[in-house]
Amino acid sequence: LGNIIDQSNETWDQQAHSFATEFPYIEISAIELGTGDYTVEMVPIEEAPSRAKMIVHTNDIIISTTRPHRGAVAIIKPEHDGYIASTGFTVLRSLKSNNVTRPFLLYTLLSSPVLRQFLQRSSGGNYPAIVPDEIDKVIIPTPPTADQEQFVDELNSANSIRRRHIQDADSLFASLDQFILSSLHLPTTDIPKPKVFALPLSSLSDALNPERYQFRSVEKSINGTTMSTVADIVESKSSPSKLSPDKQWDWIRIDDLSNQPLSVETIRTELGSDIDGTFYQVQENDILLARLGPTIQNAKFVLCPKLERQTVASSEFYVLRFRKGWNPLVVLWVLRTKLYRDLMYSKGRGGTPSRYRLSREDLAALPFPNISQKLQGELAAEISNRLAEIKRLRDEADKEWSTAKQSFEQKLLGVPG
């Protein structure tokens, strides 16, 4: 790779005032794994994470250096020229060879043969990382340019179909949000975020960040109860390595969840002796709710599935165990609405957005609407139906893309189709 393209070390001086009040930021979690798609977040300059330093330009290719084998790789679009990316990326900029096109290079970097090399050249335990020198040593196949163009055309076509399915699923997803909120007579539009507002002195707590109080009028409009009466927030933790080191445990990690997951996608099975640290022991239908700012915004909230053995979940979750009279599926999807994610995010405490954490006390005090048993049943049925259709669309998208990538990788390695 080092013979094909140079790495860039161009960085942004956060004190240079090159942006007015906000800057466009690309962080690792904004990259859709294995597809090359990504999103951009606008971040207030005063809240700039320390890692927001890499300047990227049109057609730069960015590679996550932490767990690079996951495929957090993307090419920068023209409309994002001059944007800021995390220092957790290596930025590939200047082509040194005419034998490789950028689109072909992007898809090759997303291929299994290259991702395996990334892992082999990484070091570290649960979060293996690769250094720039090792990235340069990765072997890149270079078929004739005509073949590269054909491969790219085929993958672009498959990617377009995948995106259409995803767009349909996302539209249905958004309508689910609206359906739940309107059924509960809650605000269905974005919550206003006034820059200037007043509130009684008695309503102030020990935290004085203004974001915490911006949505106070919305909170007061939610007639009902609080999360503390809906579910118990599990506090006790267990250590598999001490409790049953010789037995197999299942392990649900927050990092194994994609953004906006429909369910738990990956469960690891390991000996207790190999699971260091303390974790929450979970039960079927517990809600696993992300507590960090970015993961709240990415809706990493899921129901614990049916369990086959003792199971623990990452301590970066809160575990909600429901009281009688509440349907976990309904509560989960109320909490996953943008309204509730914004409310929870506003309660976060921390120096920068990437370090915001929702406290156990703030989660317990979160207002929650009273929902009759009849309405819970109706909501649960409609939510289940819509989730099934969303899953079907996502599965079709994944199948289309996986088939195209497999064909590409076979051609890349010269394997007959």
pLDDT at 198: 77
pLDDT at 202: 73
pLDDT at 4: 97
Same domain, 152 and 222: no
Same domain, 339 and 314: yes
Nearest Cα residue to 43 out of 66, 25, 61:
25
Same domain, 135 and 148: no
Same domain, 178 and 280: no
pLDDT at 191: 66
Nearest Cα residue to 256 out of 308, 341, 314:
314
Instruction: Outline where 184-292 has alpha helix (H).
Output: 216-221, 227-230, 240-243
**Beta carbons of 280 and 256 less than 8 angstroms apart:** no
Dihedral angle, C-alpha 342, 343, 349, 352, nearest 10 °? 10
**Beta carbons of 27 and 42 less than 8 angstroms apart:** no
Same domain, 348 and 285: yes
pLDDT (tens digit per residue) in 50-90: 999 999 999 999 999 999 999 999 999 999 999 999 999 99
pLDDT at 15: 83
| CB-CB neighbours of 294 under 10 Å | 21
Which tokens is 275 given? 């699971």
Domains in the chain, number: 3
pLDDT (tens digit per residue) in 196-212: 777 777 777 766 666 76
pLDDT at 60: 98
Distance CA 64, CA 70 (A): 9
Which tokens is 195 given? 């820059």
Using the structure block, give the residue that is written with the tokens 């076979």.
410
pLDDT at 6: 97
Identify the domain containing residue 244 by its residue range.
189-370
Among 141, 175, 205, which residue terminates a domain? 141
Distance CA 13, CA 230 (A): 47
pLDDT at 181: 95
Three-state SS sequence of 51-103 = CEEEECCCCCEEEECECHHHCCEEECCHHHCCCEEECCEEEEEEECCCCCCHH
Same domain, 230 and 349: yes
The letter for the amino acid at 115 is L
Same domain, 176 and 297: no
Q: What's this model's pTM, rounded to 2 decimal places? A: 0.75
CATH number at residue 339: 3.90.220.20
pLDDT at 303: 97
Same domain, 180 and 255: no
Same domain, 354 and 389: no
Distance CA 135, CA 124 (A): 15
Same domain, 136 and 177: no
Same domain, 179 and 207: no
**Residue 324 burial (10 A CB sphere; 0-12, 13-18, 19+):** exposed
> Checking phi first, is residue 350 left (phi over 0); if not, alpha (psi -120 to 50) or beta?
left
Burial 246-281 (b: 16+ CB within 10 A, else e): eeebbbbbbeebebebeebeebeeeebeebeeebbb
Question: Can you list the residues of the chain whose pLDDT is less than 70?
Answer: 191-194, 206-210, 212-214, 351-354, 415-417
Which tokens is 338 given? 């943008």
Same domain, 115 and 34: yes
The letter for the amino acid at 274 is D
